[in-house]
């Protein structure tokens, strides 16, 4: 996401090969042929993610892509949990989108990016036998663009 003021003090941790596998899958699903490196993945306290992103109470944030890095809720168990792994996958899709389209400066592009990422995340979960594990229709109906310029 762009235009958020964030101050993180966490450090990136090397957590391969699962993210590498997910990046390869995202490239294939998005028909992205160029070389691309795995971005840093930074475990972040959930409260920090929520404080920096949410505009309303009850918001849940488990990951975000910001300034070419993926910040994820440090409680995620993506090495063992496929739903948690799908969150990393979703953020890797944003990484490819950023490389493909450049930074997102307007809500229309941001929403298109989110829809594509959620669609591919849902496809991943369905293929892993977890259809319905996440309510993507509800998410897409309730997400709000964080960009100040609403054009």
pLDDT value of position 148: 64
Let me know if residue 65 belongs to a domain. Answer: yes
Let me know if residue 46 belongs to a domain. Answer: yes
Dump pLDDT digits (tens) for 84-96.
999 999 999 999 9
What residue numbers bound the domain in which 24 lies? 18-142
Let me know if residue 1 belongs to a domain. Answer: no
Dump pLDDT digits (tens) for 121-149.
999 999 999 988 888 888 888 777 877 65
Higher pLDDT, 2 or 21: 21
Let me know if residue 117 belongs to a domain. Answer: yes
The least confident of 24-28, 94-98, 106-110, 138-142 is 138-142
pLDDT value of position 4: 34
Higher pLDDT, 56 or 19: 19
CATH number of residue 40's parent domain: 3.30.2010
Domain count within the chain: 1
pLDDT value of position 69: 93
Let me know if residue 55 belongs to a domain. Answer: yes
Q: What is the chain's mean pLDDT, rounded?
A: 82
Q: Average pLDDT of 71-93?
A: 93
Let me know if residue 11 belongs to a domain. Answer: no
Q: Residues for the chain: how many in total?
A: 151
Let me know if residue 67 belongs to a domain. Answer: yes
Let me know if residue 12 belongs to a domain. Answer: no
The vertex-32 CA angle with 142 and 148, nearest 5°, equals 35
CA dihedral 22, 23, 24, 29 (to 10 degrees): 90
Whole-model pTM?
0.82
For the beta sheet containing 69-73, the strands, ordered from the edge strand earlier in sequence to the opposite edge, are 41-44, 69-73, 63-66
Q: Average pLDDT of 101-119?
A: 89
């Amino acid at each position: 996401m762009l235009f958020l003021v964030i101050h993180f003090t966490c450090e990136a941790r090397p957590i391969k090969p699962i993210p590498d596998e997910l990046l390869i899958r995202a490239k294939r699903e998005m028909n992205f042929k160029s070389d691309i490196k795995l971005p840093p993945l930074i475990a972040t306290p959930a409260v920090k993610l929520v404080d920096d992103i949410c505009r309303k109470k009850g918001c849940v944030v488990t990951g975000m892509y910001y300034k070419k890095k993926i910040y994820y809720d440090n409680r995620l168990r993506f090495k063992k949990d496929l739903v948690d792994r799908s969150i990393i996958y979703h953020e890797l899709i944003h990484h490819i989108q950023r490389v493909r389209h450049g930074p997102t400066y307007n809500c229309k592009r941001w929403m298109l990016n989110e829809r594509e990422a959620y669609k591919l995340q849902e496809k991943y979960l369905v293929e892993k036998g977890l259809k319905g594990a996440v309510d993507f229709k509800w998410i897409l109906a309730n997400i709000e663009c964080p960009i100040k310029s609403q054009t």
